[in-house]
Chain A
């Protein structure tokens, strides 16, 4: 059955998306200039998480850094989380939202990495002193004011990522700073904390975690929001990563370092993009987020121009039977068919705003669909609209809904669906998010996607979720202990940059050298009499190349490279041999160096032995050359080519060349 469309004039969602994108002045990051960031008041800071390289976890004696696959577990435990009060007697906003979602959390436990502490069936053991010490060293390096007494605090997490419902965490220092290329970035604080579970799945009302990573020691360095461009932000992130790594006491590899990126634009609010695992993602993510806020502020402006008193705004919901109404949209029909409740909503004054640009490829409807998924636990797709930019409701269906809801062209229509028991929360969620549009940018944490866009994750928690840990006693940090620690901290990263410049180490190696904490190795090599430049290039080019070509051996450590150069010096072998030895040493770090030499086919030769065949070779070249007449230079080059491999390590190549040249000239 077809009803004649009474259709009011509706915007074309795709065109509207592009028009609003242009209206707010969105530019792609590759085209963005500093003035674009000034225009929108880009401001950002970081929370850098870094795992510490300890043997055991922070509050129990389970091993740290042992991981299991999702199905490798011995038992499961189920928990539900409910909000509790903070120390100051407030319920936290996130906490209440998480409670609304009523999730059943299942933990998969593997006996190798889990004890009764992880599942909150035993109180914490005293804090891991090794971890505390590493974290204090990094605090000192970060020029923080070190506290006099460490107080373990509970930070509530009701998403279930920690079975207790809170993370044990403590501040070690406040107000430090780091020096990036053109400015200083202030640090708010550094805390030590236990890492959370790894999520296996999150579908509907059931979420599954594994507990292998849970409880591993982690530090969090928090900067002030003083980075004014995405590039500055990335630089700060790199700096902190290098600083952490310079101690040699932190973990590396997948997931060992994660950033939370805080972004706001002028008039926006602090949004936390959580768990960015690659620094190279930071610029794009922060760029898009700042513009998302800029877009939301534009939506607010439009709304306020249409309705001066937002308090009078309200929605109308109607549960519908799409088939009975004659709706043709296949998704709606299918959802209703499978027993879901389908709800049509009238959003007054939101006409043209549902398809308003928010992020590349996304419009305002994304704000709604994300929240339906997270808060009402309705899997996507869970909403559509005539203004959906991907799969909009078409003219006929729109007309039916318009007449049902008595919508005019200033109003928007959305249709969502879900299990009956989730519909009340879904309605609240839609109403709440639309009301927030009048305010501007809701405070939330967002999940990063590789393409630079983000998804709604949670309402941003505040200081209200902190509670003293009544299970642990405060830990005093006496002056002499702190002084002793500060004597042993590594060189400042800013200082390291200067050093590399002084040594004339090419700039393309700097990041690699810092990331791998190779400056101490360079220092050792310089102490052996090598130049800093040679050492820098050897590590920054040759080692990096070898790493990419040769499978790593777990026993390999950089001290082996120092040993290799010591061996060469002790045996009066030329350093040029190191280049050939490195791949072997890297693959077989336990092989003795003599055997390494054998395996690369090196034979010890005196200079005379090496030069003995020169005359023969000169004659040979005359025979085989295709040139009409060999010149001394071509002869020298050819002979050099024949001998240089054997000479490597025995005499320096320049010495070989000089000798050959002399020989040829005398010939």
Chain B
């Protein structure tokens, strides 16, 4: 049965029932603050039970305090259906076939009254309705694998995605797009890099930083860039496709292992760390590789799907005064792998050493990454580093902490043999460890410096 009091609870619900007014009912409300007229709207679950929301004629929403209500009268009813216009996605001869796998996220979205937030719209028809330009790029089909928020993407989903990608490749698809929330986009990108090896087609993860319910959203342009990359690019790798600058200009393609979300809200939040991005992509110039050495698109359908993951793996972010019981309790709780994000070149304090030694003895695999994000763990530089390695910690070179976490989970999903795990961890699959860090791999400009200001003003971000 349909909920005619959608989202209302407690006292507000009592008031609606008392005056026999439904959600979507047009109503006249007499209150101690005067008369209000409008259509009763559903209420978000987390909002209080002291107010009733109506939409007035001018399109605005207002809340009425129930303690001020003398009476309510329903004088009509008109339910709104929020729907992105669905148009059949047109087939165009000669265009590449691209599959969009949905996981959630905000590529296209509609309003959710339950939470007051936005929920994704997804079918090809809906996407075509919202971003008609897609039809000039590829023949698009979609499949909704899950509908979860980014933070709920977990190993189970990584594996399912990898398997689904394998199937699509087998079926002859020309490129794959994965729609994803941005918070853990890079974790999934790393997982897929390890689980889907040597793919013959581009696998492009894409999200948006501004939901598509706003006119200035980056969703449409990101999707257009991703579709272009998936359908036309020669780069057959797992990539993240998001805004390059914050302006609506071009996107970056980042390798799934070296990319990180670096700002909580900027559009240009995704950055390749310790290297340049793989390529730029724009509607005008297409895909322009920056790194020349990449995995090329192939006609064959060979791909190595390795959907493994050990969930008892964790990251420990080191801080001064960390107590050894942190490590001890992880060991006691059955953790099999630990990535430490150490200070500087890969350090932690002395009191932790016995705990590390104990963990190693118990068979826990511990790898050292750096919380500076840029640079390598160089554990030979100081004695402390040498002591740590003696205690069993293995430096993970310049692997990003999150990537190292995903990789260790993936490796331990396959074997617990120390040497084999070490071999898997330290043999790069796609640049999670690079032989060198180029000089332009670390560019965090600081504002206020005249030449930087001049650059920003001239070149735009």
Chain A residues with Cβ below 8 Å from B130 are: 84
Judge whether B358 is part of the interface by a CB distance below 8 angstroms. no
Judge whether A147 is part of the interface by a CB distance below 8 angstroms. yes
Whether B247 and A77, one on each chain, are in contact in the complex, defined by CB atoms closer than 8 angstroms, is yes
Whether B63 and A147, one on each chain, are in contact in the complex, defined by CB atoms closer than 8 angstroms, is yes
**CB proximity to A under 8 Å, residues B107-136:** 110-111, 116-118, 130
Q: A88-B82, A467-B213 are in contact. Are A145 and B36 (CB under 8 A)?
A: yes
Of chain A, the residue at the smallest CB distance from B110 is A85
B49-57, B343-351, B369-377, B402-410: which one contacts chain A? Answer: B49-57
Chain B residues with Cβ below 8 Å from A189 are: 56, 58, 60
Whether B216 and A164, one on each chain, are in contact in the complex, defined by CB atoms closer than 8 angstroms, is yes
Whether A154 and B65, one on each chain, are in contact in the complex, defined by CB atoms closer than 8 angstroms, is no
**CB proximity to A under 8 Å, residues B1-47:** 31-36, 47
Distance between A457 CB and nearest chain B CB, rounded to angstroms: 18
Whether A89 and B83, one on each chain, are in contact in the complex, defined by CB atoms closer than 8 angstroms, is yes
Distance between B44 CB and nearest chain A CB, rounded to angstroms: 9
Whether B58 and A463, one on each chain, are in contact in the complex, defined by CB atoms closer than 8 angstroms, is yes
Whether B460 and A145, one on each chain, are in contact in the complex, defined by CB atoms closer than 8 angstroms, is no
Q: A78-B249, A120-B210 are in contact. Are A170 and B456 (CB under 8 A)?
A: no
Contact with B along A479-512 (1 / 0, CB 8 A): 1001000000000000000000000000000000
Chain B residues with Cβ below 8 Å from A121 are: 209, 246, 263, 265-267
**CB proximity to A under 8 Å, residues B213-255:** 213-217, 220-221, 246-249
Chain B residues with Cβ below 8 Å from A477 are: 65
Whether B63 and A76, one on each chain, are in contact in the complex, defined by CB atoms closer than 8 angstroms, is no
Distance between B155 CB and nearest chain A CB, rounded to angstroms: 30
**CB proximity to B under 8 Å, residues A75-130:** 75-89, 91, 95, 111, 116, 119-123
Judge whether B211 is part of the interface by a CB distance below 8 angstroms. yes
Judge whether B461 is part of the interface by a CB distance below 8 angstroms. yes
Judge whether A163 is part of the interface by a CB distance below 8 angstroms. yes
Judge whether B398 is part of the interface by a CB distance below 8 angstroms. no
Q: A76-B460, A85-B84 are in contact. Are A470 and B59 (CB under 8 A)?
A: no
Partner pick for A145 among B33, B61, B220, CB 8 A cutoff:
B33
Docked pose: A120 CA to B215 CA in angstroms: 11
A79, A83, A88, A121, most chain B CB atoms within 10 A? A121
Judge whether A51 is part of the interface by a CB distance below 8 angstroms. no
Judge whether A52 is part of the interface by a CB distance below 8 angstroms. no
Judge whether B64 is part of the interface by a CB distance below 8 angstroms. yes
Of chain A, the residue at the smallest CB distance from B64 is A148
Q: A77-B461, A88-B82, A149-B51 are in contact. Are A158 and B215 (CB under 8 A)?
A: yes
Q: A84-B212, A85-B213 are in contact. Are A474 and B47 (CB under 8 A)?
A: yes
Whether A147 and B62, one on each chain, are in contact in the complex, defined by CB atoms closer than 8 angstroms, is yes
Partner pick for B215 among A82, A148, A470, CB 8 A cutoff:
A82
Chain B residues with Cβ below 8 Å from A150 are: 62-63
Chain B residues with Cβ below 8 Å from A122 are: 264-266
Contact with B along A141-155 (1 / 0, CB 8 A): 000111111110111
Judge whether B420 is part of the interface by a CB distance below 8 angstroms. no
Chain A residues with Cβ below 8 Å from B36 are: 145, 147, 174
Docked pose: A464 CA to B263 CA in angstroms: 33
Distance between A591 CB and nearest chain B CB, rounded to angstroms: 41
Of chain B, the residue at the smallest CB distance from A95 is B215
Whether A89 and B82, one on each chain, are in contact in the complex, defined by CB atoms closer than 8 angstroms, is yes
Partner pick for A149 among B57, B64, B456, CB 8 A cutoff:
B64
Chain A residues with Cβ below 8 Å from B51 are: 148-149, 474, 476
Q: A78-B249, A148-B68 are in contact. Are A466 and B60 (CB under 8 A)?
A: yes
Whether B47 and A470, one on each chain, are in contact in the complex, defined by CB atoms closer than 8 angstroms, is no
Interface size class of B (residues with CB under 8 A): 35 or more
Chain A residues with Cβ below 8 Å from B84 are: 85
Whether A156 and B61, one on each chain, are in contact in the complex, defined by CB atoms closer than 8 angstroms, is no
Of chain A, the residue at the smallest CB distance from B112 is A470
Whether A468 and B62, one on each chain, are in contact in the complex, defined by CB atoms closer than 8 angstroms, is no
Chain A residues with Cβ below 8 Å from B460 are: 75-78
Judge whether B387 is part of the interface by a CB distance below 8 angstroms. no
Distance between B122 CB and nearest chain A CB, rounded to angstroms: 15
Chain B residues with Cβ below 8 Å from A145 are: 31, 33-36
Judge whether B457 is part of the interface by a CB distance below 8 angstroms. yes
Whether B214 and A84, one on each chain, are in contact in the complex, defined by CB atoms closer than 8 angstroms, is yes
**CB proximity to B under 8 Å, residues A170-192:** 170-171, 174-175, 188-189, 191
Judge whether B156 is part of the interface by a CB distance below 8 angstroms. no
Docked pose: A106 CA to B332 CA in angstroms: 57
Judge whether A73 is part of the interface by a CB distance below 8 angstroms. yes
Whether A74 and B63, one on each chain, are in contact in the complex, defined by CB atoms closer than 8 angstroms, is no
Distance between B211 CB and nearest chain A CB, rounded to angstroms: 7
Docked pose: A463 CA to B64 CA in angstroms: 20
Docked pose: A474 CA to B118 CA in angstroms: 16
Q: A73-B457, A174-B36, A478-B65 are in contact. Are A151 and B216 (CB under 8 A)?
A: no
Judge whether A270 is part of the interface by a CB distance below 8 angstroms. no
Docked pose: A77 CA to B60 CA in angstroms: 30
Judge whether B67 is part of the interface by a CB distance below 8 angstroms. yes
Docked pose: A84 CA to B67 CA in angstroms: 36
Docked pose: A442 CA to B11 CA in angstroms: 47
Chain B residues with Cβ below 8 Å from A148 are: 31, 33, 50-51, 62-66, 68
Partner pick for A165 among B57, B209, B214, CB 8 A cutoff:
B214
Whether A164 and B65, one on each chain, are in contact in the complex, defined by CB atoms closer than 8 angstroms, is no
B31, B84, B216, B457, most chain A CB atoms within 10 A? B216
Judge whether B143 is part of the interface by a CB distance below 8 angstroms. no
Whether A116 and B266, one on each chain, are in contact in the complex, defined by CB atoms closer than 8 angstroms, is yes
Distance between A283 CB and nearest chain B CB, rounded to angstroms: 26
Whether A119 and B246, one on each chain, are in contact in the complex, defined by CB atoms closer than 8 angstroms, is yes
Judge whether B88 is part of the interface by a CB distance below 8 angstroms. no
Judge whether A438 is part of the interface by a CB distance below 8 angstroms. no
Chain A residues with Cβ below 8 Å from B60 are: 151, 153, 169-171, 189, 191, 466
A84, A87, A170, most chain B CB atoms within 10 A? A84
Chain B residues with Cβ below 8 Å from A552 are: none
Whether B64 and A147, one on each chain, are in contact in the complex, defined by CB atoms closer than 8 angstroms, is yes
Of chain A, the residue at the smallest CB distance from B115 is A470
Chain A residues with Cβ below 8 Å from B211 are: 470
Chain A residues with Cβ below 8 Å from B66 are: 148
Judge whether B81 is part of the interface by a CB distance below 8 angstroms. yes
Chain B residues with Cβ below 8 Å from A81 are: 215-216
Chain A residues with Cβ below 8 Å from B444 are: none
Judge whether A23 is part of the interface by a CB distance below 8 angstroms. no
Judge whether A166 is part of the interface by a CB distance below 8 angstroms. yes
Judge whether B453 is part of the interface by a CB distance below 8 angstroms. yes
**CB proximity to A under 8 Å, residues B265-279:** 265-267
Distance between B370 CB and nearest chain A CB, rounded to angstroms: 28
Whether A78 and B247, one on each chain, are in contact in the complex, defined by CB atoms closer than 8 angstroms, is yes
Of chain B, the residue at the smallest CB distance from A146 is B33
Q: A85-B82, A148-B68 are in contact. Are A78 and B56 (CB under 8 A)?
A: no
Judge whether B431 is part of the interface by a CB distance below 8 angstroms. no
Docked pose: A145 CA to B34 CA in angstroms: 5
Jot down 29 A-B pairs with beta carbons below 8 A, ordered by A: A73-B457, A74-B456, A77-B461, A78-B247, A79-B216, A82-B220, A84-B217, A116-B265, A121-B263, A145-B36, A147-B64, A148-B50, A153-B59, A154-B214, A156-B215, A165-B214, A165-B216, A191-B60, A463-B57, A463-B59, A465-B59, A466-B61, A468-B61, A468-B111, A468-B116, A470-B116, A470-B213, A477-B65, A482-B33
Closest 9 CB pairs of A and B: A149-B63, A165-B215, A145-B34, A148-B65, A463-B59, A466-B59, A78-B247, A151-B61, A147-B62
Instruction: Enumerate chain B interface residues (CB-CB to A < 8 A).
Output: 31-36, 47-48, 50-51, 53, 55-68, 80-85, 110-111, 116-118, 130, 209-217, 220-221, 246-249, 263-267, 447, 453, 456-457, 460-461
Given contacts A153-B59, A171-B58, 11 further A-B contacts (CB under 8 A): A80-B221, A84-B213, A85-B213, A121-B267, A148-B64, A148-B66, A149-B53, A150-B63, A154-B214, A222-B58, A474-B51
Instruction: Enumerate chain A interface residues (CB-CB to B < 8 A).
Output: 73-89, 91, 95, 111, 116, 119-123, 144-151, 153-156, 158, 163-166, 169-171, 174-175, 188-189, 191, 222, 462-468, 470, 473-474, 476-479, 482
